[in-house]
């Protein structure tokens, strides 16, 4: 467990917010499980929720916000990235909610975070955003594509079942997952998504694939730390050691960035 002594400033890790309508008002919010996963057995982490208006802030405010951060987590969300970000239109059956503030905010956040070489972890919707940010495209509804499995959760089941193991992913290449799970070719993961990678963004390397061949994790070899996974490693780290390992790997990359050490493989 990483301890914070009283003289060391904490690791400030930014978590992107969604804009969710509740009644007549909109709220900027991030899920409890993402926030708590960052502090699980990590006593030096101060999670910071980043409102979804980064693109609207003046340059000085954006700079100040990013200056204070040691890493960024792009979370999952039930909303879907608008397909115009990958030069497509909405299709029949695209019935998930949209979050245009999150779309625009994370785009601007990524542009600036990358200039500062901040460690980045993308989860589920965050994984999809990163793929599109680098020029990739998405399947709108995987379960309608020949040869691909249904990657959605069964919403009639209790939440523990929805976020329990759904399938294996085959670990590939010489990336972070190979390093962290080196003794195994595959790990079991949960699956709570209807969209997925159609074409992979430029400069991204595949780190894991599902049994149907769908890309489930990627990273960038030319960047200190950028890893994205289609599953939910923030889910119950105390019960799922592989989830805990993945989040701890990200937090360690943030620590290395803060201490001026390279997280390169
Ligand atoms: N909407 C996208 C992304 C799926 C996703 O991020 N699900 C997360 C659900 C809520 C959560 O656990 O935070 C898709 O369907 O592909």
Cα–Cα distance measured from residue 158 to residue 118, given in angstroms and rounded to the nearest whole number? 36
Cα–Cα distance measured from residue 231 to residue 243, given in angstroms and rounded to the nearest whole number? 10
Q: Three-class SS string for 18-37?
A: EEEEECCEEEEECCHHHHHH
**pLDDT on residue 265:** 53
**Spacing, Cα 78 to ligand 1 middle (Å):** 4
Q: Is residue 6 part of a domain?
A: no
Tell me the pLDDT of the chain averaged across its residues. 95
Q: Is residue 203 part of a domain?
A: yes
Q: Is residue 3 part of a domain?
A: no
Which pTM was predicted?
0.96
User: How many distinct structural domains can be found in the chain?
Assistant: 1
Is 261:21 a contact under the CB 8 Å cutoff? Answer: no
Mutation choice for ligand 1 from 193, 195, 196, 198, CB with most ligand atoms inside 8 A: 193
Q: Is residue 222 part of a domain?
A: yes
Is 40:237 a contact under the CB 8 Å cutoff? Answer: yes
pLDDT(264) > 60: no
ipTM of this predicted structure: 0.99
- Average pLDDT estimate for 69-90: 97
Task: Please write the tens of the pLDDT for every residue from 132-163.
Answer: 999 999 999 999 999 999 999 999 999 999 99
Q: Is residue 54 part of a domain?
A: yes
Mutation choice for ligand 1 from 76, 86, 128, CB with most ligand atoms inside 8 A: 76
Q: Is residue 192 part of a domain?
A: yes
The residue segments making up the domain with residue 140 are: 11-258
Pairing of strands 18-22, 25-29: antiparallel
Q: Is residue 1 part of a domain?
A: no
pLDDT: which is higher, 159 or 183: 159
**151 catalytic residue (yes or no):** no
Q: What is the CATH number of the domain that holds 97?
A: 3.40.50.880
Cα–Cα distance measured from residue 196 to residue 64, given in angstroms and rounded to the nearest whole number? 34
Q: Is residue 218 part of a domain?
A: yes
Q: Which residues pair with 206 in a beta bridge?
A: 218
Atom of ligand 1 lying closest to residue 234 CA? 12
């Amino acid at each position: 467990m990483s301890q914070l002594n009283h003289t060391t400033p904490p690791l400030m890790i930014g978590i992107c917010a969604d804009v969710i309508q509740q009644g007549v008002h909109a709220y900027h919010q991030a899920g409890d499980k993402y926030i708590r996963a960052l502090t699980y057995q990590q006593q030096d982490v101060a999670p910071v929720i980043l409102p979804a208006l980064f693109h609207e802030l003046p340059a000085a405010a954006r700079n100040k916000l990013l200056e204070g951060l040691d890493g960024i987590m792009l979370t999952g969300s039930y909303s879907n990235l608008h397909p115009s970000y990958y030069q497509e239109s909405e299709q029949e059956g695209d019935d998930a909610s949209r979050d245009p503030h999150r779309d625009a905010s994370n785009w601007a956040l990524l542009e600036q975070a990358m200039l500062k070489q901040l460690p980045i972890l993308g989860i589920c919707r965050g994984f999809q955003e990163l793929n599109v940010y680098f020029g990739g495209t998405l399947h709108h509804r995987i379960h309608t594509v020949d040869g691909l499995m249904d990657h959605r959760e069964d919403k009639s089941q209790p939440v523990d079942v929805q976020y329990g193991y759904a399938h294996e992913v085959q670990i590939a290449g010489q990336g972070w997952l190979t390093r962290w799970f080196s003794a195994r070719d595959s790990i079991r993961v949960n699956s709570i998504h209807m969209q997925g990678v159609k074409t992979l963004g430029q400069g991204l390397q595949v780190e894991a694939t599902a049994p149907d061949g769908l890309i489930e994790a990627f990273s960038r070899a030319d960047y200190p730390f950028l890893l994205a996974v289609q599953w939910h490693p923030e889910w119950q780290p105390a019960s799922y050691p592989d989830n805990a390992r993945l989040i701890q790997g990200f937090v360690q990359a943030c620590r290395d960035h803060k201490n001026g050490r390279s997280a390169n493989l």
